[in-house]
Amino acid sequence: MSDLLDSVARYYAGTLAAHGPTPRGADWNSAESQERRFTELLRVCEDDRGASINDYGCGYGALAARLRRNGYTGEYCGYDVLPAMATAARDVNRALPRCRFVTDEAELPRADYTMASGIFNVKLETPAAAWADHVRATLDRIAQVSARGFAFNMLTGCADRDRMRPHLYYADPGEWLGHCLARFSRRVALRHDYPLYEFTVLVWTQVA
């Protein structure tokens, strides 16, 4: 694990230890906001309930539970760099069918779609330019394991300045929309119209 990811893993180890396998344990302020993020991300696969899905930065596996509640039946694989988080995910979701959780990125299969929620938010002491390099490299890896498309969210640089925190990364929505259009596909959508201080980018790499 790189020094950058090692520090992020320690951060989430602290939130998990303090709050357990809950939205707070994954550093979200509420279950409602977490569920809204899932709603925005899942627009990339619409109503394809049989699609296989990777969850890149799965936390305690809340997306897996959401998928099964909504009738998605395809294979699910959650990946997290923090072993304790993956262990929690396996325990919380042990009754869910066709779900597995890994801590080695190499074990991620090539799925129809990949979701990434919140993995680009916590930069800690990493300079913004270096963090942006990390985001670009991670998106390349996500694209490689996504046969039909992927979706991710980021904190928006259009947020109120007095609400911004120095350990978080706030992104320019237009920059990342342009990056995905140039790098991955001409079929890209930006969602910046829901009531959270963030945006979601949807990328379709193959027309179904």
Condensed to tens digits (0 to 9), the pLDDT of residues 11-66 reads: 999 999 999 999 999 999 899 999 999 999 999 998 899 999 999 999 999 999 99
Tell me: pLDDT of 147 over 90. Answer: yes
C-alpha 8/C-alpha 82 separation (Å) is 9
Tell me: pLDDT of 124 over 90. Answer: yes
C-alpha 147/C-alpha 73 separation (Å) is 17
The C-alpha R_g of the chain, in whole angstroms, comes to 16
Tell me: pLDDT of 208 over 60. Answer: no
pLDDT band at 1 (very low <50, low <70, confident <90, very high): low
What total number of domains does the chain contain? Answer: 1
pTM above 0.85, yes or no: yes
More confident residue, 165 or 163: 165
CATH at residue 167: 3.40.50.150
Domain that holds residue 113: 3-204
Candidates 60, 1, 15, 73; CA nearest to 34 is 60
